[in-house]
A = this chain, B = another copy of it.
Amino acid sequence: MIPDEMLTGKYISMLNRLGQTYLAAKMKAHDIGSGQYSFLLTLYHHDGLSQEALSAKLLIDKGTTARAISKLEAAGYVRRKKNRADRRAYHVFLTNKARELQPELHQAIMEWNEKMLEVLSPEERQQLYGMLKRISDNTLKNLKECERTHNAE
């Protein structure tokens, strides 16, 4: 019998799927799918990042990133500019259209979070956020170490 706390992954998976569906429905009118909004969110804070940097920040495969950015570009939310110092790389910049969308996107995310977290007290929300951040950071660190030792073989 699996102990309760080992079902953490089950709830994580459920919440993730529900959230994706919710966000996708909210932003559908703007041609933003659940695979794109997290890139916009990151760019709001760090405009001009490369695709590689976006992939690293979001821990998303660079192929997935390339396609997401292509979609955003096709929909007019970002522009790609060649990096002069490194002609392999792009800078990904937000357009005005993306900036105008920011309040609505934030709104949608806040709504979803409120739906999810409404049963938690403000202190619990902080606790939950803190624990999720800690385990994400730690898991990430583990994976990187694992890669290193693997490469060292």
> Does A29 sit at the interface, judged by CB under 8 A?
no
> Does A85 sit at the interface, judged by CB under 8 A?
no
Distance (whole angstroms) from the CB of A11 to the closest CB of chain B: 4
Which one of A46-54, A67-75, A122-130 is at the interface?
Answer: A122-130
Q: Is the beta-carbon distance between B109 and A6 smaller than 8 angstroms?
A: yes
Q: Is the beta-carbon distance between B58 and A128 smaller than 8 angstroms?
A: no
Known: A13-B19, A41-B2. A8 touches B59 (CB 8 A): no
Known: A120-B131, A124-B131, A131-B127. A136 touches B14 (CB 8 A): yes
> Does A5 sit at the interface, judged by CB under 8 A?
yes
Q: Is the beta-carbon distance between B109 and A15 smaller than 8 angstroms?
A: no
Choose among B4, B120, B132, B142 the residue that contacts A129 (Cβ–Cβ < 8 A): B4
Choose among B18, B38, B119, B126 the residue that contacts A5 (Cβ–Cβ < 8 A): B126
Cα–Cα distance between A132 and B124 once the two chains are bound (Å): 11
Q: Is the beta-carbon distance between B11 and A136 smaller than 8 angstroms?
A: yes
